[in-house]
Amino acid sequence: MASSAAGMGNLETPGILDKERTIAGPGFNRWLVPPAALAIHLCIGMAYGFSVFWLPLSKALGIKESIKCGPEIGFFQELFISTCDWKISTLQWMYTLFFVLLGSSAAIWGGWLERVGPRKAGVVSACCWCGGMVISAIGVQQHQFWMMLLGSGVIGGIGLGLGYISPVSTLIKWFPDRRGMATGMAIMGFGGGALIGSPLAAELMKYFATPTDVGVMQTLLIMAACYFAFMIFGAMSYRVPPSGWKPAGWTMPAGDAANTMITQRHVHVKKVWGIPQFWLVWMVLCMNVSAGIGVIGMASPMLQEIFGGNLIGVTKKFIELDKAQLTAIAGVAAGFTALISLFNIGGRFFWASISDKLGRKMTYVIFFILGGIMYASIPSSAAAGNLLLFVGAVCIILSMYGGGFATIPAYLADLFGTQMVGAIHGRLLTAWATAGVLGPVVIGYMREYQLGIGIPREQVYNQTMYILVGMLVIGLICNLLVTPIADKHFMTDAELAEEKRLAHDKAMASEVGAGTGDTAVSSPAFLVFAWAVVGIPLAWGIYRTFVTASKLF
């Protein structure tokens, strides 16, 4: 009987990935949580940098020149054909799948994540993202594009969604006094992933390239192994605070305008689809991202077509340049792309931190009004040939694009409470998936239409900028309409208690034997080590990006 009881006790002991085992013990330093989140976000952020593979993959068979498929080969045939190279436009479908799957998987499994905790979600994310890269590597070796779509696009996209939202709820609960700054640090990592991954992939492909191989397969395998190690380190480093934890000496501020929108109650994720404020914030994110992502996708060709030879001191329009001059201005445009990526990353931390002082609603008011002015100024600066004003406007736009992503989790926590903010954030990311289609379609099709009716290349973006201003106006109106949530939408005390039970929330780590060794883990030496693990690669990526950005000047 005793042995039977002992067996039952063993069955009930939480596993190493269970949420109960991640509850922080006495002495745990909350500043260890941001590097854990960054370790995951810096890896999955390579989704932004996958375009580094497009050109080599478009010559995977031909090596020096693409072996073009015949006109009878359509997209579906390209999924399975192994005798001709893929078009870049075909490869870009993987990029589309990344963000569609990111939004949809975050929405579908956000509730599960809240209950199992960030550690288990982080491990699943690592398996999906890195396993997807391995499947893609096999797809490259077999020259089967369907394997790449399944691997990185679908399975990797699920890993993206889980990895992206895994730290949100945890960081907000650890930093109730600095919600924006905390989520800004993590989501800055997602923007910074490409800064590390793109130059790393380029160096690896150069190393592995041979006269018969472009080196993509080996690069994907090496990066998958490195990312897996980093992501597991991040996932295993996660700790969640005990239920009801607050920083020593901190109390919820009350009475000032910046905090009138902050609730201390909680909304269940199942109710958000029927709450007007959710859809208003959904539109706020969708409009901000649609406008920004449209500019990101066309930044390089836009600069080249608007300024042409002026970028290299030649008074010629883009269509008048020879091949050598086109190559030279492409290098300048690469510097421009690198520069705006730095503003995209810096804006995530800067604007999210500012929102802790100004409030989320006011921060988005700034995004939409200042952003509208910047978009509207681009046609004028382009017509005047003022490169400095043009670049400055685009950099500010991209800082607010990144800032919008980083500020939205704190906005949701303010409105809907912190109990299920990760799951609610997951559902809101469907706005990102929508914007990922809407923004590029608007700017891409408007460009093609205006070229088709004979408008000069340097002027084809003018009308598009005004359409994007219109999107920001819609976002501004939606943001101004956001008000505190009605009482009827919040969970009752009994419902909250049940949700905490299902989410395995505990008041103390000792209740489940977790948190042992947290005092040692929180030593200054380990804190420095944890930040160095993520800080050194990020610093290297930023340095490489600065070197590339210097070509603009």
Helix ranges (H only) for 209-322 are 216-237, 276-307
In angstroms, the Cα distances linking 109 to 117, 158, 288, 424 are 12, 9, 25, 10
Any idea what the Cα angle at residue 210 is, between residues 205 and 212, rounded to 5°? 115
Q: Which residues contact 304 (CB under 8 A, 6 or more apart)?
A: 311, 318, 329, 330, 333
Q: Which of 429, 430, 418 is nearest to 503 (CA)?
A: 418
Report the distance separating Cα 424 and Cα 257, nearest Å: 25
Residues in the chain: 553
Q: Which residues contact 50 (CB under 8 A, 6 or more apart)?
A: 94, 95, 98, 152
The whole-number pLDDT of residue 256 equals 42
pTM: predicted TM-score of the whole model, two decimal places: 0.88
In angstroms, the Cα distances linking 2 to 13, 219, 512 are 17, 55, 21
The whole-number pLDDT of residue 218 equals 97
Q: Which of 303, 421, 398 is nearest to 48 (CA)?
A: 398
The whole-number pLDDT of residue 2 equals 40
The whole-number pLDDT of residue 260 equals 57
CB 406 within 8 Å of CB 415: no
The whole-number pLDDT of residue 150 equals 95
Report the distance separating Cα 153 and Cα 146, nearest Å: 10
What does 94-116 look like in DSSP terms, one character per residue?
Answer: HHHHHHHHHHHHHHHHHHHHHHH
CB 179 within 8 Å of CB 414: yes
Q: Which residues of the chain have pLDDT under 70?
A: 1-14, 253-260, 297, 506-521
- CB neighbour class for 9 (10 Å; exposed up to 12, middle 13-18, buried from 19): exposed
CB 446 within 8 Å of CB 463: yes
Q: Mind listing the domains of the chain with CATH numbers?
A: 28-242+512-553 (1.20.1250.20), 257-492 (1.20.1250.20)
CB 153 within 8 Å of CB 131: no
